[in-house]
Amino acid sequence: MFLQKMIVDIPMLIGFIVAGFTVGFLLRGAQIKKLKVKVLDLEKEMMSSHAEILELQRDRLQLEEKLKRSSNIPVIPINSKEDKLQDKSSVTNK
């Protein structure tokens, strides 16, 4: 049998393990930091989008109120197909 003598320097082995752990820890920390920045950026974008939607809805409601106050013509709301179906089903259930 072929046997080869192996000499292992324990302090050097421990040094390699610690260095590998440190490098891995630093790389993972950088990845986590990068992902946190990305999440914060997306959260800001979503908040901006939601604020814009709310502002547009408020403007629409203000315009509707203005139209209701300014015109004396009766307005008939246009219901969607789902509303009509619900109305018919509530009538038949009674």
Question: How does pLDDT run across 36-84, given as a tens digit for each residue?
Answer: 999 999 999 999 999 999 999 999 999 988 888 876 766 677 776 666 6
pLDDT level of residue 6 (50, 70, 90 thresholds): confident
Instruction: Note whether 87 and 79 are within 8 A (CB).
Output: yes
Looking at the predicted structure, is the pLDDT value of residue 31 above 70? yes
pLDDT at position 78 is 76
Domain ranges of the chain: 38-67
